[in-house]
Structure 1
Amino acid sequence: MTETGSKHDDSKDIAQSEKTRVSKQSRISNGLYIVATPIGNLEDLTPRAKRVLENVDYIACEDTRISSKLLNAFLIKKPLIAYHEHSSSKDRERLLNKLQQGETIALISDAGTPLISDPGYKLVAEAQDLKIAVYAIPGAAAVTTALSIAGLPTDRFLFMGFPPNKQQARQKWFDGVSKIQASLVFYESTRRLPECISDAYTVFGNRMAAVCRELTKKFEEVRRDNLLSLMEYYRDNGAPKGEAVVIIGPPENIDDDALLSFDQDKAIKLALKHMSVKSASQFIAELTGKRKKEIYARAIELSNDE
């Protein structure tokens, strides 16, 4: 009788010990958690991210409908608070007040790592100013995912967000970074991709580039080629579906001595004897690595002088 009672007490102790262990593992410190979520494949949510989302008091997100789908997939039930680029300073103040009262909040974006071309930096900055702890829960990001498989230089890169929608503004945007010795990375709507690649070719000339589409999803695609070939491909095939990250390689190193000995005007005049201004400009731009826009303007001048 005593022996049976002892065994029963032992199993109760073991169960209580396991319950305490799980409780300690689940416990998280007070503060704001910046949590990366999958950009496509749900398996990319890290165990740490899942644990944090399960244990915070609130989850701040861009679109509650999109985030609800993610949380439902992992059976996570937490109050959602909308926080996006149109949120006011009062919305931010409400979140900060909750944090100051000792509650925990996770900030997530619709996909990927928050603050990478997403709202949130003001919330993080003000939280830090108020001495509220801010924790990074790293994971998927479309920028680094694309860079890892694009086959273009990664030792130095500039992330640029989204380009302007209008052609003139977009070309000016590209022109402002045309001399930077780094790979240029930006997001673009696939429906604007043909026009965007065309403008990139006009400004950058025929650099190498990659369009990384539907990353981590079933129809993931990396199309790597020079800008002229990419421009022709999307012109002939139209805009693809899905979401895209575009990477444009840095300017190629040009031999200064070779440039000094190269008579650009003479080459343009020779090309104009056999080609249209447009074709001649494209040919010389590819030959020299200079921007087609500059060559085209000079070709117009020379053709008018003839």
Structure 2
Amino acid sequence: MIILAATPIGNLGDASARLVDALGTATVIAAEDTRVTVHLLKALGIDNRPKLISLHDHNERDKAAELVELARDTDVLVLSDAGMPTVSDPGFHLVDAAAQAGVVVTALPGPSAVLTALAVSGLPTDRFTFEGFLPRKPGDRRSALRALASEGRTMVFFESPARLASSLADVAAALGSDRRVVVCRELTKFYEEVKRGTAAELAEWAAGGVKGEICLVVAGAEARVMDLATGVAEVQALVAAGTRLKDAAAEVSAASGLGKRDLYEAALTRK
């Protein structure tokens, strides 16, 4: 089978007993960076020399079929550098290929930067969305954030420390300077820091320079108070701009709290 194994995101003490056992008995490990895996084995005191196969963003599509066939006869342990494989890390294409080939896929759960940041943020956790890394180019990043302006769920992003200040400034511009934001830095490590404030406040703070691995947690948009007539008008405006009626109704419903079906039917009738 294919075994997706979560590895520590910082503190080695977070390595589960199941992970240590799997690393100690594995004969084949597909790793994002084999050097990181060798270091992990040494750091955990594991004296095992499995076959290491490199599996990263640039070769995963080519390696997937080979690993799936290998997994028909032996377990293939899949590791990313930190956290759970497939979550903004290699593994998705391998899992997809295994599922299509009827090969069993399981997971050894464990550390996750996304869930850790969400849990400590103090922002609502009942509904959230993970958006991965924001685009590198400023224009693309601003467009991506504008598309999330009406997102009502708490949003979790990964971000580079070098781009954090400019990204927070873009959050303030696209989502509002008073939008609640939490920057989680170096989670589970010695210099762990959780900084809370508004987008504008944290953009100013980050301008002085920030180091380490960053998770950015952003509060969702508050539902606007809107009557049905206004909601229908917004649906029609979105449709006029090229959005499908069904999608427009869903977007306005999420932002206003109005019923999606009510918006759809009223807009359809008015049309």
Q: Distance in 2 between matches of 1:59 and 1:79?
A: 6
Alignment counterpart, residue 218 of structure 2, candidates 226, 248, 253: 248
CA RMSD in angstroms comes to 1.5
**Quick check: which one's helix share is greater?**
1
- Structure 1 residue 180: Cα displacement: 1.2
**Segments ≥4 residues shifted beyond 6 Å:** none
SS at match of 1:231: helix
Q: How does 1:118-197 map to 2 (within 5 A)?
A: 118-197=89-168
Please say if residues 60 and 93 of structure 2, whose CA atoms lie closer than 8 Å, have aligned partners that are also in contact.
no
Count of residue pairs brought into register by the alignment: 225
Cα distance per residue 1:207-244 (max 9 Å; x no partner): 00100000000000000101111112122x2x211000
2:58 partner letter? H
Alignment counterpart, residue 109 of structure 1, candidates 80, 85, 101: 80
Query: Do residues 223 (structure 1) and 195 (structure 2) align?
Result: yes
- Structure 1 residue 92: Cα displacement: 1.7
Q: Which residue is equivalent to 2:55?
A: 83
Q: How does 1:1-306 map to 2 (within 5 A)?
A: 31-76=1-46, 77=48, 78-100=50-72, 102-205=73-176, 206-235=178-207, 237=208, 239-256=209-226
Identity among equivalent positions (%) equals 38
- Structure 1 residue 89: Cα displacement: 3.4
Q: Distance in 2 between matches of 1:38 and 1:55?
A: 19
Q: Distance in 2 between matches of 1:132 and 1:91?
A: 15
Larger radius of gyration: 1
Please say if residues 60 and 91 of structure 2, whose CA atoms lie closer than 8 Å, have aligned partners that are also in contact.
no
SS at match of 1:160: strand
SS at match of 1:161: strand
Please say if residues 5 and 109 of structure 2, whose CA atoms lie closer than 8 Å, have aligned partners that are also in contact.
yes
2:62 partner letter? K
1:81 partner letter? I
Cα distance per residue 1:256-280 (max 9 Å; x no partner): 48xx9xxxxxxxxxxxxxxxxxxxx
- Unaligned runs of at least 5 residues, structure 2: 231-271
Q: Distance in 2 between matches of 1:55 and 1:133?
A: 19
> For residues 173 and 44 of structure 1, do their structure 2 counterparts lie closer, same or farther at Cα, with a shift above 3 Å needed?
same
Cα distance per residue 1:42-90 (max 9 Å; x no partner): 0101001111122222111111111211111123322211001101533
SS at match of 2:7: coil
2:116 partner letter? T
Please say if residues 12 and 44 of structure 2, whose CA atoms lie closer than 8 Å, have aligned partners that are also in contact.
no
1:73 partner letter? A
Q: Distance in 2 between matches of 1:107 and 1:35?
A: 6
Q: Distance in 2 between matches of 1:161 and 1:36?
A: 17
- Structure 1 residue 202: Cα displacement: 0.5
2:18 partner letter? R
- Unaligned runs of at least 5 residues, structure 1: 1-30, 261-306
Please say if residues 60 and 90 of structure 2, whose CA atoms lie closer than 8 Å, have aligned partners that are also in contact.
no
1:106 partner letter? L
SS at match of 1:210: strand
Q: Distance in 2 between matches of 1:89 and 1:147?
A: 31
Q: Distance in 1 between matches of 2:203 and 2:164?
A: 9
Q: Tell me the TM-score normalized by structure 1.
A: 0.71
1:49 partner letter? L
